[in-house]
Structure 1
């Protein structure tokens, strides 16, 4: 087998074993009950599905930092996206300004491969009042400020409890 084929086989066989160690399970409440998940120029149901998919992908990305077999269970109880939807002529736009801070409230638990709870909290409330005062890193993605806030919390609160060094 030539070298290129060996590399291709290694990528498809070995990488998935390391790609997702832990997993996330996300539970949502009714999106109509959340503080601010209003779509701008989008259909409400489709926008809510996009929010759920985007945040679930992000929670799974964070859970991948956990050891294999660990589970990060999240129940989102409140969500207020960064920015505010405002009218601009015939259209609506989500305007990002420092006064429209991102907020999220949720319950979580982290369990090991045997199902033992390693960490849990039934009342996590995050808000980032200085979300626009820091350098924005990486590509410009949807819900960037909200996800950054969650990532910073996860790295500060969860990782040390699961992997104390």
Structure 2
């Protein structure tokens, strides 16, 4: 008789989990997942197929690595910081080629920690970005590829928002934008 009472509960739990798993926009590998931020503003941000990102190819928990809005969150942060540093008459086109987030999953810790990202010095955040910087006439001012990394991410000053799961990647982006556009901000 107890199994009859549990059956509706199990059905409800299964449906709830199924609904969470099929929520649109949470799986960056889905065929209909976006590959760029909407083009509005002076900074365009796109990305290559995330299936090729180091974060997903080498992850010990590929399922967790592919879930959530972390890619679009990083792209939006990149756009926001670049727009603030870019001179008013310029445009920037960015393409994220690769991302390896700070930390990694270590499944050998057991089931209790299989979906927990472990932070160690050997797992620094890394990102590869291609860019084209255009002046007001559309002429290329600068272009290239940058390999961003923060090997001492655990030793730096801790960000104010230490509950942000992307704090190390965002700090790495902020550092790159400051270096890349130092001439632009100094000219203002």
> Same fold judged by TM-score > 0.5?
yes
Gaps of 5+ in 2: 1-40
Query: SS of the residue aligned with 1:135?
Result: coil
- Show the counterpart of 1:53: 72
Quote the Cα distance in structure 1 between the aligned partners of 2:166 and 2:60: 12
Q: What are the equivalent positions in structure 2 for 1:50-89 lying under 5 Å apart?
A: 50-65=69-84, 66-87=86-107, 88-89=110-111
Q: 2:43 aligns with which of 5, 14, 24?
A: 24
Q: 1:117 aligns with which of 140, 157, 180?
A: 140
The answer to whether the 8 A contact 1:23-1:72 is kept is: yes
* Alpha-carbon displacement from aligned partner over 1:39-59 (angstroms, at most 9, x marks no partner): 969666542xx1222012111
The answer to whether the 8 A contact 1:27-1:74 is kept is: yes
Larger Rg: 2
Residue 135 (str. 1) matches residue 154 (str. 2): no
Query: SS of the residue aligned with 1:73?
Result: strand
- Structure having the higher strand fraction is 1
Residue 157 (str. 1) matches residue 154 (str. 2): no
- Cα deviation, residue 151, structure 1: 1.2
Query: SS of the residue aligned with 2:54?
Result: coil
Quote the Cα distance in structure 2 between the aligned partners of 1:92 and 1:118: 44
* Alpha-carbon displacement from aligned partner over 1:103-142 (angstroms, at most 9, x marks no partner): 1112111222322222211x31121111111111221212
What number of residue pairs does the alignment pair up? 140
TM-score if structure 2 supplies the norm length? 0.65
Residue 126 (str. 1) matches residue 148 (str. 2): yes
Query: SS of the residue aligned with 2:181?
Result: helix
Query: SS of the residue aligned with 1:97?
Result: coil
Q: 1:46 to 1:137 in 2, by over 3 A?
A: closer
Residue 105 (str. 1) matches residue 104 (str. 2): no
Quote the Cα distance in structure 1 between the aligned partners of 2:126 and 2:95: 14
Quote the Cα distance in structure 2 between the aligned partners of 1:42 and 1:112: 41
Gaps of 5+ in 1: 1-21
